[in-house]
Amino acid sequence: MSIIDWFAKREKNTVDTTEKLNIPGHLWIKCDHCQEILFQKDLKDNAHVCPKCGFHFRMVAMDRLALIFDPASFVPEDENLGPTDFLSFSDSESYTDRIRKAQAKTKRQDAVVSGMATLNHNPISVAVMDFSYMGGSMGSVVGEKITRTIERGLAKRCPVVVFTSSGGARMQEGIMSLMQMAKTSGALDLLGRAGIPYVSVLCDPTTGGTSASFAILGDFNFAEPGALISFAGPRVIEQTIRQKLPDGFQRAEFLLSHGMVDRVVDRRELRATLSLVLDMVWGCPAV
């Protein structure tokens, strides 16, 4: 074979391979845990859980609401609340620009969706955090909407369920974001005094100020498999104490074994688990 023929054959093979691999990227996704290539529709039909290894992908808020609660039962509240740049904060870009980009990306005002839904036709005051909006960070709007979710449960005398997925308090709002830890915790104290159940579902990740406030204050604290749940991250802790942390440290299963959460629940079983618990403690029977 001449050198000209060799290059001609190589060029042909390259073109053929490229054509064979020219598959629309949005149809497939690789599992971060087992590296399996998954068809996006199949993954969504399986509650965004890898059918091979059980890895739980992150979910946007509306998908989670559709999975857990009765079809078309969710009625949003407080959708008009949007963040304010109290401090005229700027690092690599201004906070105002970050807000604009996050709102364009997610088509919502801030990192939590809240309102009323039903579970087996029983009313639930619910809030779902969305990590795709600035890492689910908690600013004044997130804290206010979580607080209003709790207050709705108190006013309507119905259970409260909050799904957390957050990197913690939003640094761009400074003390205004940290104040939400006390505000949400205070509202939960009033809910508890009224004897109304609060269920916290900790999703990946639940860290920082959210884990140090309303996320871990549930009457029932359920966690999704493999979820990172912490205040400071493992890398920060290792650098501070200069020791190697145990395998699986700060993951849901580790917290369960140390009494920090009540149960690790596969997402596909969460609706049934919530139904059972709320039937037992609040008389919300499955219909």
Write the pLDDT tens digit of every residue in 245-265: 898 999 999 999 999 999 999
Q: Which domain holds residue 266?
A: 59-282
Whether 14 is covered by a domain: the verdict is: no
Q: What local confidence, expressed as pLDDT, does residue 234 receive?
A: 84
Tell me how long the chain is.
287
CB 202 within 8 A of CB 229: yes
Average per-residue pLDDT for the chain:
92
Q: Is residue 18's pLDDT more than 50?
A: no
pLDDT over 90, % of the chain: 85
Whether 257 is covered by a domain: the verdict is: yes
Whether 45 is covered by a domain: the verdict is: no
Higher-confidence position of 206 and 12: 206
Number of domains in the chain: 1
Mean pLDDT of 78-84: 95
Whether 240 is covered by a domain: the verdict is: yes
**Residue range 99-134, pLDDT digits in tens:** 999 999 999 999 999 999 999 999 999 999 999 999
Distance CA 150, CA 127 (A): 9
CB 142 within 8 A of CB 168: no
Q: Is residue 45's pLDDT more than 60?
A: yes
Whether 47 is covered by a domain: the verdict is: no
pLDDT band at 17 (very low <50, low <70, confident <90, very high): very low
Whether 5 is covered by a domain: the verdict is: no
Q: What local confidence, expressed as pLDDT, does residue 1 receive?
A: 53
Tell me the HSE value of 3 on the side-chain side, using a 13 A CA sphere: 0
State the CATH number of the domain containing residue 212.
3.90.226.10
Q: What local confidence, expressed as pLDDT, does residue 12 receive?
A: 54
Mean pLDDT of 236-240: 91
Mean pLDDT of 61-85: 96
Q: Is residue 10's pLDDT more than 60?
A: no
Sheet with 160-166, strands from edge to edge, namely 75-76, 112-119, 122-129, 160-166, 198-206, 220-223, 263-264
Distance CA 213, CA 180 (A): 9
pTM over 0.85, yes/no: yes
Whether 23 is covered by a domain: the verdict is: no
Whether 54 is covered by a domain: the verdict is: no
